[in-house]
Structure 1
Amino acid sequence: MNAQEIIRQYSDLQASLVASLRSNLRHVQDWEFLTDVPKRGRLVVGDEGWRYGRHGAGVQFIGERTGRVVDAHVGLLRSPSAVDAWRLSQFCEAIGIATVHYGGRTFSAQDEGELELCLRELAREGILVEVPHSARLWLLSPRVDALREVERD
């Protein structure tokens, strides 16, 4: 699968899940450390039910129908659509993607190191930008998002 497409799928889904969680848990005040987020819960996004579990300063979502796994990072408020190699590898494994492709190269979707190389390559090409003050978190470039909006029109 094309690396850009899987990153877009993951980041859009993660942003939707985080937005739904925030909308359903309006009473939560600690979105940095999640101390007042329920340990476990359920929500619906699109046509799928999602179970979630809080861990440390993150939340793992598991799709009830598809088994997709989205492990939202600690920067839930600042960058709800950011990705990293580890989270992307979990997502790919859950949906049965063994490799991703970019720039004529094939990267193992199950190998965090290879995915990190892929993400860095995408950043060199201006497709991803690194989230400031983060531990290897990446966002789709605003330029890429602008092109996506043009494609929708």
Structure 2
Amino acid sequence: MKKITEKEFIEITKAFSDIQQQLVYAYLILTKNEKNWPKHGAIKINQESWEFNKHGAGVCFKKCATGELIDAHDDMEENPRKLDTWRIQSYLSSIEAMEIELLGKYYHSHNDDDIEELLRICHINN
């Protein structure tokens, strides 16, 4: 399990939010003249291919080269940079198990409660 610092965790969440916003905007551009949003397809962001699958109120994006997942499961149009426990936990689970040390306590990237607490402690929300 990879060990990371609070600073690295914050950097990962910022990078996640940036790419999520780019993916959501690209998807919304694809759909701006559509009555029905595409259920699946592919888009390119920063020269990298991502597949998407529409579900419920959101879209799950999967990076073709690595399998990274970004699940913009709600509030896509209103808040394309949204960070929440589900999004971060899903993303971290898709890349690598991590252990984050903060204030002498260890948090695990695959644990919803740990991610929720980290987001709160690090003042990461929107």
TM range (shorter): 0.7 to 0.9
Displacement, 1:103? 4.5
- 2:49 aligns to what SS in structure 1? strand
Q: Percent identity?
A: 27
State the Cα distance separating 1:97 from its structure 2 match: 3.5
Do structure 1's residue 92 and structure 2's residue 56 form an aligned pair?
no
Instruction: For residue 54 of structure 1, give the secondary structure of its aligned residue in structure 2.
Output: strand
Give the number of the structure whose residues are more often strand, by fraction: 2
Residues 35-75 of structure 1 show CA distances to partners (whole Å, capped at 9, x for unaligned) of x1111111111121111001111100000001110000311
Unaligned runs of 5+ in 2: none
Task: Give the CA deviation at 1:19.
Answer: 0.9
1:59 matched residue in structure 2: 59
3-state SS of paired residue (1:106): strand
Kindly state the Cα deviation for residue 104 of structure 1 after the two structures are TM-superposed.
4.9
Asked if the contact 2:31/2:37 (under 8 Å) is kept, the reply is yes
More relative contact order, 1 or 2 (CA 8 Å, 6+ apart): 2
Structure 1 unaligned segments of length 5 or more: list them. Answer: 30-35, 129-137, 140-153
Which residue of structure 1 lines up, in the alignment, with residue 122 of structure 2? 122
How many residues were matched structurally?
120
Contact 1:28–1:37 (CA under 8 A) maintained in structure 2: yes
CA, structure 1 residues 68+77, in 2 after alignment: closer, same or farther (shift >3 Å)? same
Q: Is the 8 A contact 2:56 2:73 kept in 1?
A: no
